[in-house]
Amino acid sequence: MKGNFNQSSNEPELQGVALLDLKRQYEVLKDEIAESLKKVCDSGAFVLGPEVKVLENNIATYSQAEHAIACASGSDALLLALMATGIGPGDEVLVPSFTFFATASAVTRLGARPVFVDIEPKSFNMSVIDTARKITAHTKAMIPVHLFGQMAEMVELNRLAQQHGITVIEDAAQSIGAEFEGRRAGSWGDMGAFSFYPTKNLGGAGDGGLVTTRNSQLAQLLKLLHVHGMEPRYYHRIIGINSRLDSFQAAIINVKIKYLESWTMMRIQNAQRYNEMFLDAGLGNKIGIPKPFPNRRHVWNQYTIRVSDGQRDELRKNLAERKIGSEIYYPFGLHEQECFRYLGYSSESLPETHRASREVLSLPIFPELTEQEQQLVVRSVKSYFDVNPARHVFPAATAVPVKKRDAA
Ligand SMILES: *Cc1c(COP(=O)(O)O)cnc(C)c1O
């Protein structure tokens, strides 16, 4: 879209690559954002104003869900969705262990029990087989997380949920615009939870979140729950929480959503370029290259490679010395976290989660990342392996490049 970040050959050599550089996006949108914020100030409507309504309509349309209810964060979106399901003590909620903390803590905040499910290793998403194995008479809901930007196996998970009368809440915090068989994240489950945290594909300038649903009864309930169950003013039939989005955030996100498709295309292109570059560099089986499933549109909130146990942390240190940003999402499964020890999982009880948490490394993938920067990342990974031979060979299946048509 914007060519102004492309470095030409006569520019100085790169001094490093940031994992995420939000300033590049801001430079382009500066004036538009300032104007939208001024409008909010002039209107005096600071909480749940017209900008929030516009945002709800924008996201409902974009996500192919009928209703959208904005709230204060992605964590609250999950909590509200569970509250609308009526989750409480004695209930079990199936969640992946390989996810951000909020997916599981929302369950415990309502006094219910998170039941951790292992992942399918190629997608890093909730395993259908392990999900089926862990359904009990107490299972009330499941929260498939569309991790890193790729949707979970929603056809199979929805089928299981239907068979057992389980509510499905999609955790789409990392996956706005992702698709499974052509249909968007947030339109598959009973509800979908989104986050506008700045590092997400559609981020505000602070915290923000939203719940989508195609069910108008659930939509009504969610609208009540996020304003203390109050309707009309000072009448409370149910107990809700205070989780509102402010108009400043909504105004900024309304500006940004116009660019979301083009940013997503840039992420997809960057991912394809990495895959080709890593193969060209002869790293195809020294690292595990992410290979999206053909029936899904991966929106690449993260580009996550695997590096065998023991070498991942070495490589990361090496990259840091070269000022290449990287991050480990996530260094432990939630089942290994101290606060969830009472649930009684051993580290190895979820073997794929355990393995992934020791192997994953996320590299810079933000839309404005240049080809030159990607080359530097790939060269840096290569020079690590030139000195430190790979101790593990990844199967060729993980080294197939992304199909061109994914970007069409
Ligand atoms: C970011 C994130 C959340 C929480 O969103 P916040 O807006 O930070 O509260 C929940 N789940 C996943 C998978 C996330 O990545």
- pLDDT at site 11: 62
Interval between CA 370 and ligand 1 midpoint (Å): 27
Percent with pLDDT over 70 in the chain: 94
- Does the pLDDT value for residue 292 go beyond 60? yes
348 in the same domain as 200:
no
Mean pLDDT across the stretch 25-30? Answer: 96
170 in the same domain as 79:
yes
| Higher per-residue pLDDT: 399 or 302 | 302
- What is the residue range of 332's domain? 259-387
174 in the same domain as 107:
yes
Interval between CA 280 and ligand 1 midpoint (Å): 35
Assigned domain for 248 exists: yes
Interval between CA 383 and ligand 1 midpoint (Å): 34
145 in the same domain as 73:
yes
192 in the same domain as 263:
no
At residue 46 the predicted structure's pLDDT band, cuts being 50, 70 and 90, is confident
- Give the count of domains, the chain: 2
**Residue range 293-327, pLDDT digits in tens:** 999 999 999 999 999 978 999 999 999 999 999 99
- Does the pLDDT value for residue 385 go beyond 70? yes
138 in the same domain as 270:
no
CATH value at residue 62 = 3.40.640.10
237 in the same domain as 268:
no
Interval between CA 74 and ligand 1 midpoint (Å): 5
- Pocket mutation for ligand 1, best pick of 79, 103, 125, 253 (most atoms within 8 Å of C-beta): 103
- pLDDT at site 10: 58
Phi and psi angles of residue 167, each rounded to the nearest 5 degrees, phi first: -75, 140
- Which long-range CB contacts under 8 A does 347-354 form with residues at least 24 apart? 350/97, 350/98, 350/116, 350/117, 350/118, 350/119, 350/130, 351/118, 352/98, 352/118, 352/119, 352/120, 352/121, 352/127, 353/96, 353/97, 353/98, 353/116, 353/118, 353/119
368 burial level (CB within 10 Å; 0-12, 13-18, 19+)? buried
* Angstrom distance (rounded) from CA 150 to CA 172: 9
183 burial level (CB within 10 Å; 0-12, 13-18, 19+)? middle
**Residue range 48-63, pLDDT digits in tens:** 889 999 999 999 999 9
Mean pLDDT across the stretch 138-145? Answer: 98
- pLDDT at site 4: 45
Assigned domain for 3 exists: no
- Pocket mutation for ligand 1, best pick of 101, 171, 301, 334 (most atoms within 8 Å of C-beta): 171
Interval between CA 12 and ligand 1 midpoint (Å): 37
Last residue of a domain, one of 258, 273, 297: 258
Last residue of a domain, one of 225, 258, 291: 258
Interval between CA 13 and ligand 1 midpoint (Å): 36
At residue 396 the predicted structure's pLDDT band, cuts being 50, 70 and 90, is low
CA distances to 197, 198, 322, 342, 380 from 376, rounded to whole Å, are: 28, 25, 10, 45, 6
Nearest CA to ligand 1 atom 5: 74
**Residue range 111-125, pLDDT digits in tens:** 999 999 999 999 999
Interval between CA 116 and ligand 1 midpoint (Å): 17
- pLDDT at site 120: 97
Ligand 1 pocket (Cβ < 6 Å) reads 73-75, 99-100, 102-103, 145, 171, 173-174, 195, 197, 207, 209
At residue 399 the predicted structure's pLDDT band, cuts being 50, 70 and 90, is very low
- Does the pLDDT value for residue 126 go beyond 50? yes
**Residue range 233-253, pLDDT digits in tens:** 999 999 999 999 999 999 999
293 in the same domain as 223:
no
**Residue range 190-207, pLDDT digits in tens:** 999 999 999 999 999 999
Ligand 1 closest atom vs CA 147: 13
335 in the same domain as 288:
yes
